[in-house]
Amino acid sequence: MEQESNFDALHEHYSFGADAGQEPLRVDKFLMNRIENATRNKIQQAATAGYIHVNDQAVKSNYRVKAGDVVRVFLAHPPHEDLLVPEDMPLDIVFEDDSLLVVNKAAGIVVHPGHGNYTGTLINGLIYHFDQLPKNSNNRPGLVHRIDKDTSGLLVVAKTDKAMAHLAQQFHNKTSERQYLALVWGDVADEKGMVDGHLGRDPKNRLLMTVFPDGDQGKVAITHYEVVERFGYVTLIKCVLETGRTHQIRAHMKHIGHTLFNDARYGGDKILKGTTFTKYKQFVDNSFKQLPRQALHAQTLGFVHPETKKKMSFEAPLPDDFSGAIEKWRNYAQHQHLGNS
């Protein structure tokens, strides 16, 4: 009875329905594929404490999830939307007025709180510096759009309800402009191209997005790309988004065989193109150390101001880790006969 009374004070954090095609899989592995930043140890501890339920019954970590099962995770603290704590952190503000601000986010900063990242996020910093930011449809203050933790670059933040509604409509209608720089594996064949492929959660690993070329699953996603500079085994490209899906550039570029350089989640942290020479392996390893994240930067951002109705455009220079990696590859390409390696 004591466990039941303690359980009454818990809060549901996650609920997952196993797909019809789900093969039997241990519940700890099932949850690791679905909860970002979760460790197997934490999941096993939750199971030991009776906090993981399948079909409303507490299960141990070795329970095998089957098709049709409903897996729910309960924790002692409320979901993260109720835990927003203002934190004094520096913000690189590119532009600000009474309606909005444009922030240049550093790589490594999570945009909004979530599992394993309840503090130190951009939102924690925003609510410290700005009072009463409007909330979006997900109850997140100021956020009109987001970029991944290890992607650097520009975000627009709404300061009023009118700005939130106006900017959100622009992103929904695809009238905002976003251009990214990406360093990808391989020598991209065409100078320009487009990837048009529905994106949805990977059935085997819910932390990944995958392309459904037949369009039978996922959501419409369109990425335009253009070659900026070639370095033989990697290529610097710029990408313009028509849609803004989760991991869109990362998943689209992997789909066409050009995974982002050092994108660990999508397999870009391995040597995907190049020689077997030891010196080359050392060079790539040094490049990974120079740029210890996926090579993606939200370089430009354009939108119509919600009050003045004027077109605004902003550009963020490449951060040092990214520009340093490009310089390494540029020097390598200039000093190697790549075709003969």
CA atoms within 13 A on the CB side of 202: 16
From the candidates 148, 263, 269, 321, give the one annotated as an active-site residue: 148
285 is catalytic: no
Question: Which pLDDT belongs to residue 339?
Answer: 45
Residues 52-86 have pLDDT tens digits of 999 988 899 999 999 999 998 876 555 555 557 89
Q: If you ran DSSP here, which 8-state letter would residue 166 be given?
A: H
The neighbouring-strand residues paired with 319 are none
Tell me the pLDDT tens digit for each residue of 136-169.
Answer: 887 789 999 999 999 999 999 999 999 999 999 9
Task: Assess whether pLDDT exceeds 90 at residue 336.
Answer: no
Residues 40, 121: Cα–Cα separation, whole Å: 24
> Quick one: what percent of the chain has pLDDT higher than 90?
69
Alpha carbon distance 61, 32 (integer Å): 11
Q: pTM for the complete prediction?
A: 0.79
- Whether residue 299 has pLDDT greater than 90: yes
Closest alpha carbon to 183 in 231, 236, 223:
236
Q: Which domains does the chain have, with CATH numbers?
A: 2-77 (3.10.290.10), 82-172 (3.30.2350.10), 177-340 (3.30.2350.10)
Strands 152-158 and 296-304: parallel
Within 8 A by CB and 6+ apart from 31, the residues are 14, 16, 38, 43, 52, 71, 73
